[in-house]
């Protein structure tokens, strides 16, 4: 585990107490044989050694505190376009930092620039310049500092970080380095200077590395300067990469190596953003002993699917650099509704992409604060029902990670990493359309090949240039490639072009897609050496166009080159026709089928994963030969396979896959494949365990205990349906769900949810996805209403954070600036019979506090009532025929962030505006209870609570209530505040659940239901129905199903399987008091032969659901109106609403197999 100081950390980071806690972890890990990895920062990104903010509650960065020399740097520019002859004053008020250059360049009619006549005007800054004839652009380049970022290009800055962090670990726990502490993880680093990454003294370093002064050529980073443009841009990014390498990656990698630990972590994995934030991914990440990558797919992608780009690129770095392990920070931010089955899918997909060190994210020490609970969940730790079974999942990953770390990776295809072309097409800190096109097609090539079971590595130009070319093969480290694919390229090193030609001449297969390069970093554009090489390889001029879908060119020695104009699937056909594929799907479908091939000594090892949610029977042709076995990563068992066919072309096998199941197929070439018809197992006896089962809910009882049953259980009812009246009976449509207590420690009271307001606070943040952007400074709201008759009287009570202007039918009706005191406005004069428009402009007076989440991941601003924008309004319209119309702010209102012309008029077309998002109803925090003068609360008030009792409820304990109360069960009065009884016995009901109802009379907001009502349950008979129909829709935890049945037969003479059918989501299988297996995913089947007896048997099933069922309602009051927090409890869970279904559904069958 990585000891990660998350942003919600309570202990002072790097304090004496911090080191005491780390020491305890290290000592405990040593006792357990556990590995405690260093996570090198408070939150993220790594580097500052402390918080990036002085008011975060944690010590400020020790690196940034030393001064501006350690702050991140950027290079910005300002410009003026002038025409000569003229006399202009050189004033640039926006240039607030150190001036690096002031230049005047000629502008051509095409909008390009000429650097030949560049004039250095630095000495004239602040004075007048006599502009020569023609069009000119005057540019000033100035350095600026980033006070919340460190300078990753400055080796002294990084050395300070190492001193206060890594050296501090070494001084205390150095004797455990390399054993208990295997390594250190850095996180989320990248350069933030925009539009250009910079550092103090960069011009001098550039001169030292490249041999010329960059300053006169800086305009080429902003404008097209003709032929030399690509060279200047590539040289700039090359130097940035070199400095980044030296300062951070190489320095930190050397330190770790010298101290006996491994460096791992991750940076920026996506093209085309790598150029500006990292320079060159391969050159930087290669310095890690364990290259690593983040995996964002479960966090930001839905339906959850692992995109191959991040993982495939980092595993390629490892293959090319001879690194044995490859890390992925995996599956974080998937949300509380993620199932073990989907986690298995994610692990399988990552393993198939070459990842063999999976770091599940994350394990929360506690969720006792909103910051911790909503910090990119889920927590896989003790809070979660599946923590009890984590060892099953960990063993599964461990077996595969170990196995897939052995031997050598095998694949035929290399895809060139197009970073040089990205550099050449990054302008003013932004990728051009061409850069994005290159990146899109590069990504598309990777995805297309992998989707067709054609594995690949991404290859850097440096690796290609160091490769050994032999007999049509590219040999790098342990890898051998027979095919090289060039994505669209504009710019290529001359040496690379020569190497590609050498490969082609030796018999290699080369594909190029869409664009052939014509420029080089050495010469710039129109490099004749690049053009000539492309002509010799592809038979096409670099800039030639063709109307053919594919152009092929062959070499006498067998080399083949294909230029593909558009259709990337032509690459698949070309590979199949030239070298064939390592594995071929003959039947069963290629969709979501993942493959990884490794070779250990002489044996071929294929990892095969069904990425689909359904079972499939597959017939596969493998290039490998010899006797084959199927290894099961779930239990380590080995099964011999019989081939359908085996010849010089390979071996054909039939394999059955359950949903998201994986197999490892191993070929031993020293033994002959078995080609004989295998005896097929058949079900000879089927017994359905239908009818009623005994069921009991088991909250907490079995979380740490392994036993098949519980005699009784206690369970609290933390949520209730609620409404209030002035003494009248409850109304069915008025019920709403409330959480009885805010936290486990806090007492409840009606003041947390009682309000006269029917309206909701509204804003716009639901219109972002995910719903995290909760920081608008101004919003515009509209609501159209129709009034059928003339108006007798109308009022509107309104408040907003913080300043509002109310318009009715385009006329200003009121304004205000004090959200604590809602204004009641007589809007009668502004309304009319027919169509009307109410519009409100809201402007926040207090700016949003800078979100620490952008840098360290709390995921929320340190917000107050004045910093969260919103609108709350409620009113009534009484017509002359005595009809009452209500106005309430809710999701039917429209909202927009920009003020548009006539936005407050009734004829404005607001169809492009968004539906408002309901933050919630008062007394929503942080605003709390607000008066509604036209409809105030008048005590005493009658509160009504109700809830279905869990199946099997036998006893209700006396509720803790402030106020006079009556308790009803199924409409019968059972207990009151005047009675002395402490428990109530609940009569059994055969057909439906019992329901509890409370009537409470309160005189103030501190009264009401104080604690959740506690009930006691016993096993009860039930059919296999959802837990939601057992009074447990809100419940997360375990329940036990039990059934006795008779079995006729001799179990030892045949196989007896238990098939549970459908289970949501995890189950312990106990047969005759013995634990047989734990199933976390499909198929819910297990071999129970050894535990069965002839005659009477007992089956106990401990079923667990997801924590999402609880998290759907369990949100802290303080953040219930916040977009970030509500996302994790609402949108993120609702998209997986089908996973909230809980329980055993069957059909449950006993299968006898021969």
CA distance 914 to 780: 11
The reply to whether 869 and 801 lie within a common domain is yes
- Give yes or no for residue 858 having a pLDDT over 60: no
- Give yes or no for residue 1031 having a pLDDT over 70: yes
Residue 765: the pLDDT is: 76
- Closest by Cα among 265, 270, 269, 212 to 238: 212
| Confidence label for 859 from pLDDT (cuts 50, 70 and 90) | very low
Angle between helices 433-451 and 309-321 (to 10 degrees): 80
- Asked, for residue 133, whether it belongs to a domain, the answer is no
| Burial (0-12, 13-18, 19+ Cβ within 10 Å), 452 | middle
The reply to whether 1007 and 1043 lie within a common domain is no
- The domain total for the chain is 6
Stretch 544-569: mean pLDDT: 89
pTM, to two decimals: 0.96
- Give yes or no for residue 980 having a pLDDT over 60: yes
Sequence length of the chain is: 1154
Question: What are 25's two structure tokens?
Answer: 């972890």
Helix (H, G, I), strand (E, B) or coil at 1037: coil
- Asked, for residue 435, whether it belongs to a domain, the answer is yes
The reply to whether 422 and 515 lie within a common domain is yes
- Asked, for residue 139, whether it belongs to a domain, the answer is no
The reply to whether 430 and 548 lie within a common domain is yes
Higher-pLDDT residue of 806, 866 = 806
| Confidence label for 852 from pLDDT (cuts 50, 70 and 90) | very low
Stretch 602-618: mean pLDDT: 97
| Confidence label for 769 from pLDDT (cuts 50, 70 and 90) | low
Stretch 993-1006: mean pLDDT: 97
- Give yes or no for residue 333 having a pLDDT over 90: yes
Residue 311: the pLDDT is: 97
* In the chain, % of residues over pLDDT 90: 90
- Closest by Cα among 513, 465, 515 to 491: 515
Residue 771: the pLDDT is: 55
- Closest by Cα among 444, 569, 447, 436 to 490: 436
| Conformation bin of residue 1139: beta by default, left when phi > 0, alpha when psi is -120 to 50 | alpha
CA distance 881 to 789: 7
* In the chain, % of residues over pLDDT 70: 97
For residue 378, cis peptide bond before it (omega within 30 degrees of 0)? yes
Stretch 38-42: mean pLDDT: 97
- Give yes or no for residue 641 having a pLDDT over 60: yes
Phi, psi of 448 (to 5 degrees): -65, -45
CA distance 1020 to 142: 76
Question: Which residues share a beta bridge with 605?
Answer: 598, 666
Residue 555: the pLDDT is: 87
- Closest by Cα among 838, 767, 840, 846 to 808: 838
What's the CATH number where 599 sits?
2.60.40.1180
Residue 426: the pLDDT is: 98
Question: What are 285's two structure tokens?
Answer: 């990440």
The reply to whether 646 and 745 lie within a common domain is no
Residue 644: the pLDDT is: 95
Question: Which residues share a beta bridge with 426?
Answer: 431
The reply to whether 902 and 789 lie within a common domain is yes
- Asked, for residue 333, whether it belongs to a domain, the answer is yes
Cα diameter, the chain: 108
- Asked, for residue 378, whether it belongs to a domain, the answer is yes
Residue 277: the pLDDT is: 94
pLDDT digits (tens, 9 = 90+) for 109-168: 999 999 998 999 999 999 999 999 999 999 999 999 999 999 999 999 999 999 999 999
The lowest-confidence range among 78-82, 675-679, 877-881 is: 675-679
- Closest by Cα among 94, 49, 97, 92 to 73: 97
Contacts (Cβ under 8 Å, ≥6 apart) of 3: 22, 25, 36, 37, 38, 39
Beta-carbon count within 10 A of 1001 CB: 16
Of 546, 578, 610, which residue constitutes the final position of a domain? 578
Question: What are 710's two structure tokens?
Answer: 């519980």
SS3 helix, strand, coil % of the chain, rounded to 5?
Answer: 25, 35, 40
- Give yes or no for residue 676 having a pLDDT over 60: yes
Residue 300: the pLDDT is: 82
The lowest-confidence range among 37-41, 674-678, 942-946 is: 674-678
Contacts 24+ apart (CB under 8 A), 463-468: 463/282, 463/320, 464/414, 464/416, 464/496, 464/499, 464/500, 465/493, 465/495, 465/496, 465/499, 467/499
| Confidence label for 1050 from pLDDT (cuts 50, 70 and 90) | confident
The reply to whether 538 and 630 lie within a common domain is no
pLDDT digits (tens, 9 = 90+) for 476-514: 999 999 999 999 999 999 999 999 999 999 999 999 999
Stretch 807-824: mean pLDDT: 97
- Give yes or no for residue 867 having a pLDDT over 90: no
- Give yes or no for residue 355 having a pLDDT over 50: yes
- Give yes or no for residue 1 having a pLDDT over 90: yes
Q: Residues of 1103-1122 as b/e, b for ≥16 C-beta within 10 angstroms?
A: bbbbbbbbbbbbbbbebbbb
CA distance 543 to 305: 38
| Confidence label for 770 from pLDDT (cuts 50, 70 and 90) | low
Cβ–Cβ under 8 Å, residues 14 and 168? yes
The reply to whether 973 and 1008 lie within a common domain is yes
Cβ–Cβ under 8 Å, residues 1027 and 1035? yes
Cβ–Cβ under 8 Å, residues 240 and 279? yes
Please give the residue range of the domain that contains residue 1110.
Answer: 687-711+1020-1153
What's the CATH number where 891 sits?
2.60.120.260
Angle between helices 528-538 and 494-505 (to 10 degrees): 20
Cα 513 to Cα 416, 591, 1060: the distances in Å are: 11, 24, 51
Across the chain, mean pLDDT equals 95
| Conformation bin of residue 928: beta by default, left when phi > 0, alpha when psi is -120 to 50 | left
Question: Which residues share a beta bridge with 305?
Answer: none
| Confidence label for 680 from pLDDT (cuts 50, 70 and 90) | confident
Of 860, 892, 920, which residue constitutes the final position of a domain? 920
Q: First vs last Cα of the chain: how many Å apart?
A: 45
The DSSP call for residue 690 is -
- Asked, for residue 927, whether it belongs to a domain, the answer is no
Question: Which residues share a beta bridge with 922?
Answer: none
Residue 811's H or E segment, with its range, is strand 811-816
Alpha-carbon torsion (1072, 1075, 1078, 1083), positive or negative: negative
The reply to whether 770 and 913 lie within a common domain is yes
- Closest by Cα among 621, 607, 618, 620 to 649: 621
Residue 352: the pLDDT is: 98
Residue 848: the pLDDT is: 58
Stretch 438-454: mean pLDDT: 98
- Asked, for residue 1120, whether it belongs to a domain, the answer is yes
Residue 860: the pLDDT is: 47
| Confidence label for 584 from pLDDT (cuts 50, 70 and 90) | very high
- Asked, for residue 1043, whether it belongs to a domain, the answer is yes
Residue 543: the pLDDT is: 66
Stretch 1013-1025: mean pLDDT: 97
Stretch 1012-1038: mean pLDDT: 97
Cβ–Cβ under 8 Å, residues 377 and 366? no
The reply to whether 440 and 426 lie within a common domain is yes
CA distance 741 to 749: 8
Contacts (Cβ under 8 Å, ≥6 apart) of 208: none
Stretch 740-766: mean pLDDT: 90
Contacts (Cβ under 8 Å, ≥6 apart) of 414: 456, 457, 458, 459, 464, 474, 479, 481, 483, 484, 485
- Give yes or no for residue 832 having a pLDDT over 90: yes
The reply to whether 521 and 549 lie within a common domain is yes
- Give yes or no for residue 856 having a pLDDT over 60: no
Question: What are 1034's two structure tokens?
Answer: 């809100």
| Confidence label for 743 from pLDDT (cuts 50, 70 and 90) | confident
| Confidence label for 768 from pLDDT (cuts 50, 70 and 90) | low
| Conformation bin of residue 1037: beta by default, left when phi > 0, alpha when psi is -120 to 50 | left
Of 409, 429, 448, which residue constitutes the final position of a domain? 409
| Confidence label for 772 from pLDDT (cuts 50, 70 and 90) | low
Residue 270: the pLDDT is: 86
The DSSP call for residue 898 is S
The bridge status of strand 560-564 relative to strand 509-513 is: parallel
| Conformation bin of residue 636: beta by default, left when phi > 0, alpha when psi is -120 to 50 | left
Helix (H, G, I), strand (E, B) or coil at 121: coil
Residue 413: the pLDDT is: 98
pLDDT digits (tens, 9 = 90+) for 248-269: 999 999 999 999 999 999 998 8
Cβ–Cβ under 8 Å, residues 141 and 75? yes
Residue 851: the pLDDT is: 42
Residue 532's H or E segment, with its range, is helix 528-538
pLDDT digits (tens, 9 = 90+) for 722-733: 999 999 999 999
Phi, psi of 205 (to 5 degrees): -65, -40
pLDDT digits (tens, 9 = 90+) for 414-439: 999 999 999 999 999 999 999 999 99
The reply to whether 907 and 765 lie within a common domain is yes
Stretch 458-464: mean pLDDT: 98
Contacts (Cβ under 8 Å, ≥6 apart) of 366: 372
């Amino acid at each position: 585990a990585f000891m990660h100081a998350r942003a919600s950390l309570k202990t002072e980071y790097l304090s004496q107490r911090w080191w005491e806690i780390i020491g305890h972890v290290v000592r405990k890990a040593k006792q357990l044989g556990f590995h405690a990895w260093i996570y090198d920062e408070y939150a993220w990104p790594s580097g500052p050694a402390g918080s990036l903010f002085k008011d975060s509650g944690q010590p400020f960065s020790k690196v940034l505190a030393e001064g501006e020399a350690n702050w991140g740097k950027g290079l910005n520019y300002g410009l003026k376009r002038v025409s000569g002859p003229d006399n202009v004053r050189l004033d640039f008020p926006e240039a607030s930092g150190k001036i690096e250059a002031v230049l005047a360049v000629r502008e051509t009619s095409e909008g390009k620039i000429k650097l030949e006549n560049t004039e250095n005007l630095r000495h004239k800054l602040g004075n007048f310049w006599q502009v020569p004839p023609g069009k000119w652009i005057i540019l000033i380049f100035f350095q600026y500092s980033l006070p919340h970022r460190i300078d990753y290009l400055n080796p002294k800055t990084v050395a300070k970080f190492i001193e206060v962090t890594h050296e501090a670990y070494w001084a205390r726990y150095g004797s455990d380095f390399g054993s208990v502490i295997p390594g250190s993880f850095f996180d989320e680093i990248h350069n933030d200077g925009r539009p250009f990454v910079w550092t103090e003294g960069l011009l001098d370093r550039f001169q030292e590395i490249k041999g010329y002064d960059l300053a006169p050529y800086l305009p080429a980073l902003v404008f097209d300067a003709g032929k030399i443009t690509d060279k200047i841009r590539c040289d700039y990014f090359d130097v940035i990469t070199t400095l980044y390498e030296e300062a951070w990656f190489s320095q930190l990698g050397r330190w770790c190596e010298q101290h006996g630990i491994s460096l791992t972590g991750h940076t920026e994995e996506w093209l085309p953003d790598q150029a500006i934030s990292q320079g060159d991914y391969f050159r930087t990440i290669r310095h890690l002993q364990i290259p690593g990558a983040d995996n964002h797919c479960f966090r930001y992608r839905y339906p959850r699917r692992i995109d191959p780009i991040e993982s495939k690129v980092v595993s390629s770095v490892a293959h090319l650099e001879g690194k044995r392990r490859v890390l992925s920070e995996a599956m974080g931010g998937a949300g509380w509704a993620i199932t073990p089955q989907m986690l298995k899918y994610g692990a399988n997909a990552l393993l198939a992409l070459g990842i063999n060190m999976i770091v599940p994210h994350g394990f929360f020490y506690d969720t006792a604060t909103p910051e911790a609970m909503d910090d990119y969940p889920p927590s896989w730790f003790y809070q979660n029902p599946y923590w009890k079974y984590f060892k099953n999942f960990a063993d599964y990953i461990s077996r595969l990670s170990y196995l897939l770390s052995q031997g050598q990776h095998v694949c035929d295809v290399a895809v060139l990493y197009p970073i040089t072309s990205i550099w050449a097409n990054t302008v003013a800190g932004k990728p051009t359309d061409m850069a994005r096109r290159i990146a899109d097609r590069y990504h598309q090539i990777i995805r297309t090949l992998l989707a067709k079971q054609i594995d690949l590595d991404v290859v850097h130009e440096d690796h290609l240039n160091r490769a050994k070319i032999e007999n049509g093969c590219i040999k790098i480290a342990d890898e051998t490639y027979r095919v090289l694919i060039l994505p669209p390229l504009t710019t290529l090193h001359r040496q690379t072009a020569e190497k590609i030609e050498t490969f082609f001449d030796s018999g290699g297969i080369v594909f190029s897609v869409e664009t052939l390069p014509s420029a080089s970093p050495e010469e710039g554009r129109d490099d004749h050496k690049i053009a000539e090489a492309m002509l010799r390889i592809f038979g096409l001029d670099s800039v030639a166009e063709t109307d053919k879908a594919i152009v092929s060119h062959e070499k006498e020695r067998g080399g083949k080159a294909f230029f593909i104009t558009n259709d990337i699937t032509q690459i698949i056909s070309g590979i199949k026709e030239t070298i064939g594929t390592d594995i071929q799907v003959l039947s069963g479908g290629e969709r979501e089928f993942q493959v990884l091939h490794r070779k250990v000594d002489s044996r071929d090892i294929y990892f095969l994963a069904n990425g689909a949610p359904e079972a499939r029977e597959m017939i596969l042709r493998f290039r490998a030969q010899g006797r084959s076995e199927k290894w099961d990563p779930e239990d380590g068992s080995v099964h011999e396979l019989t081939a359908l066919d085996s010849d010089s072309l390979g071996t054909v096998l039939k394999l059955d896959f359950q949903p998201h199941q994986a197999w490892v197929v191993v070929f031993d070439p020293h033994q002959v494949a078995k080609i004989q018809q295998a005896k097929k197992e058949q079900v000879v006896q089927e017994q359905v365990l239908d009818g009623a089962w005994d069921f009991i809910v088991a909250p907490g009882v079995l979380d740490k205990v392994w036993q098949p049953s519980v005699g009784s259980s206690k369970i609290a009812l933390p949520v209730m349906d609620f409404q209030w009246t002035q003494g009248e009976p409850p109304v069915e449509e008025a019920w709403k769900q409330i959480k009885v207590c805010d936290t486990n420690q806090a007492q409840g009271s009606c003041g947390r949810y009682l309000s006269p307001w029917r309206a909701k606070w509204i804003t716009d943040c639901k219109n972002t996805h995910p719903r995290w952007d909760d920081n608008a400074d101004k919003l515009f709201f509209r609501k159209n209403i129709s009034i059928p008759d003339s108006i007798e009287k109308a009022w509107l009570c309104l408040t907003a954070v913080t300043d509002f202007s109310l318009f009715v039918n385009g006329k200003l009706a009121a304004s205000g600036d004090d959200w604590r005191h809602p204004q009641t406005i007589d809007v009668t004069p502004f309304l009319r019979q027919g169509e009307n428009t109410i519009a409100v402009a809201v402007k926040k007076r207090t700016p949003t506090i800078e979100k620490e989440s952008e840098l360290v991941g709390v995921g929320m601003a340190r917000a107050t009532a004045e910093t969260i924008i919103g609108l709350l309004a409620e009113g009534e319209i009484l017509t002359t025929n005595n009809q009452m119309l209500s106005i309430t702010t809710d999701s039917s209102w429209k909202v927009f962030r920009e003020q548009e012309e006539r936005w407050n008029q009734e004829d404005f077309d607001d169809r492009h505006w968004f539906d408002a998002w309901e933050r919630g109803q008062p007394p929503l925090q942080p605003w709390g209870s607000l008066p509604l003068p036209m409809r105030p609360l008048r005590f005493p008030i009658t509160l009504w609570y109700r809830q279905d009792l869990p199946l099997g409820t036998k006893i209700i304990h006396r509720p803790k209530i402030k106020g006079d109360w009556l308790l009803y069960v199924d409409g019968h009065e059972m207990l009151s505040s005047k009675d002395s009884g402490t428990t109530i016995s609940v009569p059994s009901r055969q057909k439906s659940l019992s329901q509890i109802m409370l009537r409470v009379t309160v005189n103030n907001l501190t009264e009401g239901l104080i604690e959740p009502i506690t009930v006691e349950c016993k096993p009860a008979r039930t059919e296999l129905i959802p837990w939601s129909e057992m009074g447990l829709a809100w419940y997360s935890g375990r329940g036990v199903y039990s059934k006795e049945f008779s079995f006729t037969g001799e179990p030892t003479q045949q196989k007896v399987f238990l098939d549970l059918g459908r289970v949501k989501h995890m189950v312990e299988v106990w047969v005759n008091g013995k634990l047989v297996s734990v199933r976390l995913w499909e198929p819910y089947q297990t071999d129970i032969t050894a535990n069965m007896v002839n005659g009477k048997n007992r089956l106990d099933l401990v079923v667990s659901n997801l924590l999402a069922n609880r998290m759907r309602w369990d949100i802290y009051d303080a953040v219930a109106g916040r977009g970030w927090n509500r996302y994790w409890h609402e949108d993120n869970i609702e998209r997986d609403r089908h996973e909230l279904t809980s329980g055993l559904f069957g059909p449950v069958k006993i299968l006898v197999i021969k």
